[in-house]
Amino acid sequence: MKAVIARRYGAAVEVAEVAEPEMGPRDVRIAVRAASLNPLDFKIRDGKAKLALALKPPLHLGCDVAGVVEAIGREVTRAAIGDEVFVRLEKLRMGGLAERVCADEQFVAKKPKNASFGEAAALPLVTLTALQALREGAALVPGQRVLIHAGAGGVGCHAIQIAKQLGLWVATTTSTKNLAFVKQLGADQVIDYTQEKLRDAVQDLDAVFDTLGGASEIDSLAVTKRGGTVVGVGGMPDAAFAKAWLPWFAPPVIWFATRKRRAEEAKRGAKFVYLFMRPDGTQLAEIAGWVESGALKPQIHKAYPLADVAEAFAELERGRARGKIVIEIS
């Protein structure tokens, strides 16, 4: 079958003939109709996620998929042949940019009925990340105030909508050209990061969802109230993640590299939590319900045919996408 691979760390992505995926007893095999790209895909290609995800080249890329179930393992109870589904693949079973994938049924959910395969493929990683950041990482409850960075990005534009669905007041950051876009997604306050300093625009937030990392995390802690939380997904991990996921030599390095962030946490009385999202079929079913009710609209920047996947990666890496980049597989 055809799949998108990188033959070694740092190599260009290419469409190649690869072996069919192996199906376990609890797996469903999905004929993939569409997949979507995430920055994680080029981070894996470049070896930047190597310490947490020890994948051996050739690297099978892609983790967000929508398609039709074409076979089920003997222990599968929740899915049937012919189901239209979507899934965020398991961390060590990537390879969604392919004609077929296998996934444990616990990570799979029925595709929203009113979404195309491309729209459904856009959702899993970004919506699960947003839901887990807001509801679990920051433990937010209705009425609280959250800042979501990069509101026009793949994560941000879905996080704004999910935050509104959770009953939150939402501020977001974006460049001038995307002000109207994030406003119509439901943001209550829009901060143009090219014109305003974050610390002048907001203060005393209950939480910040920081997808940018680096210096942004220091600013995020500075605008969070005492007892509040900054959930980060785009920068350096925290000590708990380093201990759980990284090799023995990494925690002291992370400890040293995050000293400014830890100093800011102590100064502000706010905490920083690093989130490494997890696949979850039950949460994906909840997300599908929001799409079907019209509360959550998948946002697509552009769709590409499989043959143009290298161009799609280049567009993603420019970092200016408004919503998600989708690859049409079949």
Q: Report the residue from 67, 95, 96, 154 that binds ligand NAP according to the rule CB under 6 A.
A: 154
Burial class (CB in 10 A: 0-12, 13-18, 19+), 72: buried
Check residue 47 for interaction with ligand NAP (CB under 6 A).
Answer: no
The Cα–Cα gap between 105 and 107 comes to 5
Q: What is the helix (H) or strand (E) element at residue 322, kind and residue range?
A: none
Instruction: Give the amino acid at 325.
Output: I
Residues 6+ apart with CB under 8 A from 213: 232, 233, 234, 235, 236
Q: How far is the CB of 129 from ligand NAP (least distance, A)?
A: 4
Q: Is 273 in the site for ligand NAP (CB under 6 A)?
A: no
Among 30, 123, 185, 233, binds ligand NAP (CB under 6 A): 233
Which of the ranges 60-68, 91-99, 154-162, 223-231 carries the binding residues for ligand NAP, by CB under 6 A? 154-162
Task: Show the binding pattern over residues 180-209: x = contacts ligand NAP (CB under 6 A), - = does not.
Answer: -------------x----------------
Residue 174 interacting with ligand NAP (CB under 6 A): yes
In the chain, DSSP assigns E strands to 2-6, 14-17, 27-36, 59-60, 64-72, 84-88, 100-104, 108-110, 145-148, 169-174, 189-192, 205-210, 224-232, 271-274, 300-305, 324-328
Instruction: Please report whether residue 149 would count as binding ligand NAP according to CB under 6 A.
Output: yes
| Residue 212 binds to ligand NAP (criterion: CB under 6 A) | yes
3-class DSSP state of 310: helix
d(CA 225, CA 241): 24
Q: Which of these ranges, 35-43, 79-87, 116-124, 217-225, lies near ligand NAP under the rule CB under 6 A?
A: 35-43
160 binds ligand NAP (CB under 6 A): no
Q: Break the chain down into helix, strand, coil percent, rounded to 5.
A: 35, 25, 40
Nearest distance from residue 106's CB to ligand NAP, in Å?
18
Q: For the CB of residue 210, give the shortest distance to ligand NAP in the complex, in Å.
A: 9
Q: Which residue is nearest to ligand NAP (CB)?
A: 153
DSSP bridge pairs for 67? 32, 85
Give me the residues paired with residue 79 across strands: none
Residue 87 makes contact with ligand NAP by CB under 6 A: no
320 is a contact residue toward ligand NAP (CB under 6 A): yes
Q: Which residues bind ligand NAP (CB under 6 A)?
A: 38-40, 125-126, 129, 149-150, 152-156, 173-175, 178, 193, 211-212, 233-234, 275-277, 316, 319-322
